[in-house]
Structures are given as C-alpha cells and as structure tokens.
Structure 1
Amino acid sequence: MNPAGRDEPAVAPPASLALPVDRLVQPDDVSCGPTSMAMVCRFHGDRLGISEAMASIERNEDGGTLAVHIGRAALLRGYGVRIWTWNLRLFDPSWHELPRAALLAKVRARRRVASRAKARYALGAYARFLAAGGEVAFAELERQLLVDVLARRRPLLVGLSATYLYGTPREDPRTNQPDDVGGEPVGHFVVISGYEDHGRRFAVVDPMADSPLGPHGERVVDATRLLNAVLLGQITYDAVLLEMWPAGETTSS
C-alpha cells in the first residue's frame, strides 16, 4: 500500500467488469447497511443472512449504522477491511500519510476535543476499528479508484447521499417521509458491482425495496453523479467506500 492507501494494479483493469452480486432487499427503512454487507459477504461465498448481519453490527440511535460499524463487524468475521473516507469533520488532510498507530492517536485526540456528539461517537468507532486491525485510507475520489478495487474482484460497499444520487426530496428524519422544505438529506448504503467504459459508468445494487433504480434495484449510473453523491455523504457522516476481502487474500490481490 502506498502512503495514500492506494494499491497499484499489477495489470491494467478491463474496460468493463460485472461482478455477480445477488441483490437482497432490506427488511426496513434503516437496514441498508447490514443488507449491503450481506450482499458483499455472499459474493465472497460467505452465506451471511440479513438478520445475522443486523445482529452483528452496532446501530446508531436512529436505528441506522455507520460504515465503520460495518467494517468492524466484517473484521470480527475474519475479513480484511479498508475504509476510504472523505469526511473532513473526522479526518484532517494532514493525516493522510500517517501509519496506523499514529493515525489512531490522532483519532483519539480529535475525539477528546470534538464539539459534536455525533463526531465523538463516530471517532470512537473509528478508534475501535483501527485498534482491531482495520485500515483507513485516503485518496482522490476519482473513477479509477473504484475501477481498481472492483478489478480485484471486490464489490464496494458505499455510503453516500441518496438524496443527491436519486434527486429525491429530503426526508423528515422522524418519519422517513419526503419533506422538501423541512426535511434533511438522507444517507444510504449501496453496493457497486461493476463498471462500463473504463469507469465512466458504474453498476449500483440498491437494497431498498422501493428503490428509484427500479423494481430490480439495479442500474448503471453515471460516474460523476455517483462520485458527487459519495462526497455529499459527508453531510450524514457517510462519504465512504468500504473494501473487504476474505482471510488469506493479500490487500492487493
């Protein structure tokens, strides 16, 4: 891994790639994270059920979860896990080349001085994730990053802004109902299962039952729209790509 956390591919990725990720449907409005984890685990031959995933992942007060909680659950299941983050509320750009121990110290120090309760909560989760052996990586969010990970035959679990990706109204956080005036942006987890035309478009698998992607919850979307949705996920403490690989694989297999 280079200082930015980017593994360079041994060979050039193919122009297009489709990984066989079977879609699962989340059982409620807040279980997109566990359901997405189950989809990725099943791709790797691990028959994790949605209920089991839900039981293994820490939840937020609103019933949802954070990518870092999913990552820690995957670590405990024996996977290697790397989280690519663009959340400047939590991570300072000057930390990008720090080794794990130094990064962990910075995360703990930031937690002690953070003014927002949500930030302290998330930073505590990242401290536990790093201490358990997880990786936090930093790089420019560009389509080649996603292409390189997918070319390692690793579907990406992505935390992003569903409000921006789908162009749907904001929602009332108490009811999850559309409210374009009084509502808030909505974070969401989906799985990226492939790409077309060297990453100009990406295949999105959405666990939401009534997904704007259509009845099958799958669609190829424009790379610019997807990447912007990831960055705007910072508003809801998302803005992450989560890469996981089975025990026995190297980080750059």
Structure 2
Amino acid sequence: MIYEGKEYKEVTDGSAEIGDLIHVTEVEGEVCDTWIFTLDDCINAPEVASYVGYGRTFLDIDTDEWVRYRYVRDVEELLSEHNVKDGDFFVIIDDTCAHGLSNGTIVRKSKRKASYAGMPITVLRSSINKFVNYKDVRKATEEDIDIARKTYNLIKQTDTVNSPSHYNQTKIEAIDIIEDVTAGYQSNVKYHIGNAIKYLIRAPFKNHTVEDLKKAVWYIQRAIEKLEGEK
C-alpha cells in the first residue's frame, strides 16, 4: 500500500510500533476515513498524532475501527524503459496479470526490445521469456539477489544456462536474434536455420571455431535441401 510516496504493509501479527500508519474507518460508531500516525506502541489504545474526534488523540479498540500499517520502504521512481538496464533483477509483485508469474518470482531484464506489452524479462534458471508491465515488478533488493544466488547457485549475475557467455557477446542476446530471423522461415526449416545462427554466433568465442562453422554450414545445407525438395 502506497501512502505519500512510501510503501506500507498491513500489520497482521498483532504487534504495534511507534510511527505505524493507522487507517481509521470508524470512531464511536461514526464512519470516517482518516490516516494518522501512532505516537506510541500501544496495541489496543494507541495515541495518535492528531485529533480523531470527540476531542481524543487516541483510539480505543472497543469503540473504534482501524487498520494498522507499517513502513516498508520509500517508493522508487516509477519504472520505465528509461530507468531499467539490461541484466537488472526484479521481483514480480502483481500475479493477477497475463504473464502468469507468481508473486515473489525473481526475474531479470533481458536484452530484447521493449514492446507494447512492457519490459522483456527472463525467469531465472529457466527458458521462460516473457513481457511484463513495469507496474507488475519492483527492483530487487540486495537481499532478494542474495537469496536468488543461493537458491539458483548463481556465482555471478550471469545465468550460464539462459545466457551462456559464448552466446552473450553481441549487443543482442542470441535467442533474440534467432527468434527474429527464423520468424521469416517456413516451419520445417526454422530448426535448421536457428541452429546455423547459433553456431555462427558462438564460433569466435569458443575453442572450436572451425567445427562450429562447419556445423553451421551443415544445418544451412540441410535447410536448402528441404526447401529444394518441395519444388
């Protein structure tokens, strides 16, 4: 919940702290809509920063209704294509959208181009690539990233499964190049063209350059044979 540029979370464990944000909805039977901060850590009759009615500067659990919230963090600048970088980590905070990712899922901004659907992301340690609205995520904290590293055994922020270094030497990720190029080919040769591109991209960055180039040629030749066989 956002209030005056800060994020607050509803307190559900029955605790109370000085500075909690209280949303008062009823005082002695009268409906109201008041937001106010606590001045003490009393649970059932907290003193608050201003009058709530009837000359009182405190609430009473027997006569009043309220919900208690606690500060989480300052809200960052709204995310957009202008202030996110390739490789940045994010956390899904809205699982009601069409992307199908659950809250808490840690994702990473990929190098694919942004689209009308929002920011292109990759789910860690998977082959899942999606677009999410900027409002559906928040920037991951260092704690989030540390948990991700431990959970997924990420020694570096580079995911060696989804973005191996030999496929990540160009300005655009290999998978994005392959998807863009093969989109124009017939379905029966997409696989061959995709593999040819894969070997061409990685050839200069591995120790088997000639072998990779030969594999690329083999897949291209196979694609040609399939296309010629349809004539």
Please give the range of the TM-score, normalised by the shorter of the 2 chains: under 0.3
TM-score relative to the length of structure 2: 0.22
Q: Larger Cα Rg: Structure 1 or Structure 2?
A: 2
Higher relative contact order (CA 8 A, sep 6+): 1
Higher share in strand: 2
TM-score (norm 1): 0.21
More helix by share: 1
